Structure formats: C-alpha cells, structure tokens
Structure 1
Amino acid sequence: MTHQLYTGAQAAEMATQWRRAHSAGAAAVTRLAICNWVARGHLHVAGLDEHGRPLYTLADIARAEKATRSRALRLAGIGTR
C-alpha cells in the first residue's frame, strides 16, 4: 500500500491549518518547526524526493502536530481548548 508523501513545506502548511483550528487562527507551523520535529523524534522521514529532500506521511505529520501542540500554544501564550 502506497501512502501520499508530503514535502516539509506541505507538512508545515497542513500542520498550520490543524494548529490554527485549535488557536483561533493565531498559531502557525513553520518549515523550521518541521525540521525541529524531525530532530526531536516527533516526525519521521518516510522517503526522499528526487532532490534528496525528506518526505513525510500525513499520519506522521498529524501525530507530530498533536504531540507538540500544547507546548507550542502555551509558549505562544495561547490557551488550548
């Protein structure tokens, strides 16, 4: 079974949409945050594109966003629901 893979920029865009749904539109996830999630073990590289850039699965992006959401919103001064 093949899964759709997403670039870091696409991952950041999707995670931003999810995070904003929990922060009344105030929080964003950057490409740097995606790199940090990988470095901290929250997000795993599922493959590489034709230029050797990392790709991620939707499920892994969602898990990483959820795992980091509370702390990120707290640091931004945004209460979670």
Structure 2
Amino acid sequence: MLLLCGSTAGVGNAPSVPVTAIVAKFGGGFAVEVVRADARRELVAVKLGLFDTAHGRVQVDGDLAASSASGESTRHG
C-alpha cells in the first residue's frame, strides 16, 4: 500500500515503480522505460500519484500493461 506522507490515506493495489525509474519528458510530463514481451524497450508516458518516501517508490498510471518497467513495476497491496 502506498501512503501519503503525513496521512493514513493510502491506495491499495497501486502500480508503482522506484522513484529512480522516473524520467522527465522534454516539454513536460514523466515517463518510465518498459521492456515489452518482444524485448523492445520504450519510454511510456505516466502520470505520477502518491509517493512512498519510506520505500522510495511512486504510484504511476500509464500504458504499462504486459510490460515490465525498468525499475521493476509492482503492485503493492
């Protein structure tokens, strides 16, 4: 579960990646590198959600289905 700092509010089963996997996109926004099933690597735009500062992770929302983020995308619940 990702927790909002200073709060007991959280998001169960939220996809997250290590903060170090986030890259800034030219012109604004953020992305993560994903490895597709055919071993292609690509940057996928994501929206950032809650930060888990205790574990160095951030919730992401984007087209990460059927992929593995370079930073080991996982669901925490």
Whether these two folds match at TM > 0.5 is: no
Greater share of helix = 1
State the TM-score, normalized to the length of structure 1.
0.29
Give the number of the structure with larger relative contact order, counting CA–CA contacts within 8 Å between residues 6 or more apart: 2
Greater share of strand = 2
